Amino acid sequence: MLQWIKKGKIFTPQQVIGLDWLKEFAQAPSTLILDDVVRVYFSCRPLPDVNGQYVSHSAFVDLDRKNLYKIVRISDQPILPMGDVGAFDEFGIYPVSVIKKNQGYMAYYAGWTRCESVPFNVAIGCAESDDGMHFKKIGSGPVLGYSLHEPFVISGPKIRYFNGRWYLFYIAGTKWKIVAGRPEPVYKIRMAVSDDGLNWDKNNRDLIESRIEDDEAQASPDVIFSNGKYHMFFCYRHSENYRSKEFGYRIGYASSENLIDWTRDDEKAGINVSDHGWDTEMVSYPHVFELDGKIYMFYLGDQVGKFGFGMAELDGILG
């Protein structure tokens, strides 16, 4: 079993002053390691409108590479604008994953649109940047959208580059389940592969077996290579009453030697809810990265990151 030492909360959106579009949530943290700082991309929200509906933006915070508790910079505007009327990303950019490509950067993001019979639908878009701060969409539509066997909720992108190929880990909806008169999404972890980062071949199967129930929802597949194999950290929840401690998000773990066949072993994940503090009800949306010889995890706590993200450090090796 892995052992993570919790280091506390790193970023709290409620402490940011003067940015009306960044009032709550710091969801799905994902890093870009630069020379002097660790840039952490996350998704946030302004306060809800008069009808109680949210939109989502994506931003970044730069942390001092030598002291991850020290905030050097917070983006003064969203890294991407939301889409035009009728576009797949009209109402939200969440989450986002950034990777260096040649002399610039590529971002893969989930674009949200509102629906009538269910609350939303999602597809994955792509954008590019010269500086990693301001991104421009490569087109008005998604690079990975709904398809014959993945009919809705294509979200949660995590972009990786292994062995000369691009890998996009994401989630795909399997059903909308009506719970107490409210539609709740069920989604599983999937993967697509590309030679250029734009044209994708879907694997078309679930990577991680369900454990707690058939309708278990899985999210945030985050993959890192270490000591000869691939390690995936992800989160999962029950399909009903998951806005609670008993059935809420937990962090799971799986490993693979070929990126296709994964062995799930949640007991090895090594991190769970705390007895007190900001993450007593749930832990979710893990992002694991190596920095100067150490392995860290950024993750969300209660209410899926409404009050920010925290950090844990691995005690030992990732093997």
Which structural domains are found in the chain, ordered by start? Answer: 4-314 (2.115.10.20)
Global confidence as pTM = 0.97
Query: Whole-angstrom Cα distance, residue 189 to residue 153?
Result: 11
The per-residue pLDDT for 108 is: 98
Judged against a pLDDT cut of 90, whether residue 230 lies above it is answered with yes
The per-residue pLDDT for 220 is: 98
- What tens digit of pLDDT does each residue of 190-225 get? 999 999 999 999 999 999 999 999 999 999 999 999
| Averaged pLDDT for residues 1-25 | 97
Among 74, 55, 71, smallest CA distance to 63 is for: 71
The per-residue pLDDT for 319 is: 87
Judged against a pLDDT cut of 90, whether residue 160 lies above it is answered with yes
- What tens digit of pLDDT does each residue of 242-265 get? 999 999 999 999 999 999 999 999
The per-residue pLDDT for 236 is: 98
